Amino acid sequence: MTTWKIYIVNYMVNLNMRMYVRDWKMLYGIIFSSLELPDYPTIYDYLLLSLRKKDVIATFNWDPLLLQAYRRVYKITSKLPKLLFLHGNVAVGVCEQCKRVGFIKDKCSKCGKQLKRSRLLYPIKKKNYHLDPFIKSQWDAIQHYLKYAYSFTVFGYSAPKSDVSAIELLKQAWGSPGERNLEQIQIIDIKEDEELREAWDDFIHTHHYETHKSFFESSLAKYPRRINEAYWAMFMECEFVDTHEFREGLSFEELKEQVQNLVQYEEDE
Domain limits, the chain: 17-263
pLDDT given for residue 163 in this prediction: 79
Q: Contact 83/66 with Cβ under 8 angstroms?
A: yes
Q: How confident is the model at residue 13 (pLDDT cuts 50, 70, 90)?
A: very low
Over residues 51-65, the mean pLDDT reads 94
Highest mean pLDDT among 7-21, 24-38, 91-105: 91-105
pLDDT given for residue 23 in this prediction: 55
Residues in the chain, how many? 269
Among 16-20, 122-126, 263-267, whose mean pLDDT is lowest? 16-20
Instruction: Dump pLDDT digits (tens) for 199-251.
Output: 999 999 999 999 999 999 999 999 999 999 999 999 999 998 888 999 999 99
- Compare 35 and 60 and report the one with higher pLDDT: 60
Q: How far apart are CA 4 and CA 6, in angstroms?
A: 7
- Compare 24 and 49 and report the one with higher pLDDT: 49
The count of other CB atoms within 10 Å of the CB of residue 256 is 16
Over residues 17-31, the mean pLDDT reads 55
C-alpha of 197 from chain center: 20
CA contacts within 13 A on the Cβ side of 268: 0
DSSP state string for the chain:
-------------STTHHHHHHHHHHHHHHHHHT----SS--HHHHHHHTS-TT-EEEE---SSHHHHHHHHHTTT-S---EEEETT--TTEEEETTTTEEEETTSB-TTT-PBPEEPPPPPS-S---TTSSHHHHHHHHHHHHHHHH-SEEEEES----GGGHHHHHHHHHHH--GGG-SS-EEEEE-SS-HHHHHHHTTTT--TT-EEEESSGGGSHHHHSTT-HHHHHIIIIIS-------PPPTT--HHHHHHHHHHHHTTSPP-
Over residues 131-142, the mean pLDDT reads 94
pLDDT given for residue 28 in this prediction: 61
Instruction: Dump pLDDT digits (tens) for 63-115.
Output: 999 999 999 999 999 999 999 999 999 999 999 999 999 999 999 999 999 99
The count of other CB atoms within 10 Å of the CB of residue 90 is 22
pLDDT given for residue 121 in this prediction: 86
Cβ contacts of residue 138 below 8 Å, gap of 6+? 58, 84, 85, 86
Instruction: Dump pLDDT digits (tens) for 149-188.
Output: 999 999 998 776 667 888 899 999 999 999 999 999 999 9
